Amino acid sequence: MNPTTDVFEQRMAALEGGSGALATASGQAAQLLALTTIAQAGDNIVSTPLLYGGTYNQFKVTFPRMGIDVKFIEDDAPEQFEQAIDGKTKALYMESFGNPAYNVPDFEAIAEPTDWR
């Protein structure tokens, strides 16, 4: 472990009240680690296409190579997320400010409990 990174991780964990933290070199590395921790070959993620270009490419190219399907809905409407969810869905993914539309998803409505849970 890099001692500078270790100190950063400890301070972030303390700041957030966590038991630990993990620093990555980029947001895409963080996404890859987080999503491949909960999804494996045969699973899927539901995402809006309103994403940073690198994220869109990671979802469109890299994840399918690992057997993880990413279902892209039309925009960020809560009912579209709900319709795309199935028994193999491990995560819903959206950005708080979508790119390039600067949209802000209705997180509360998307997180509202539904029958699939």
Question: Is there a single domain that holds both residue 62 and residue 44?
Answer: yes
Question: Is there a single domain that holds both residue 22 and residue 46?
Answer: no
When divided into structural domains, the chain yields a total of: 2
Written as six digits, the tokens of 52 are 């940073």
Question: Is there a single domain that holds both residue 43 and residue 33?
Answer: no
Question: Is there a single domain that holds both residue 19 and residue 57?
Answer: no
Question: Is there a single domain that holds both residue 72 and residue 49?
Answer: yes
**Segment 72-108, tens digit of pLDDT:** 999 999 999 999 999 999 999 999 888 888 889 999 9
CA distance 101 to 27: 20
**Segment 18-46, tens digit of pLDDT:** 999 999 999 999 999 999 999 999 999 99
One-letter-per-residue 3-state SS of 37-97: HHCCCCCEEEECCCCCHHHHHHHHHHHHHCCCEEEECCCCCHHHHHHHCCCCEEEEECCCC
Provide the domain limits for residue 24: 1-37
The residue type at 99: N
Question: Is there a single domain that holds both residue 22 and residue 55?
Answer: no
Question: Is there a single domain that holds both residue 112 and residue 68?
Answer: yes
Written as six digits, the tokens of 81 are 């997320």
- pTM for the model: 0.84
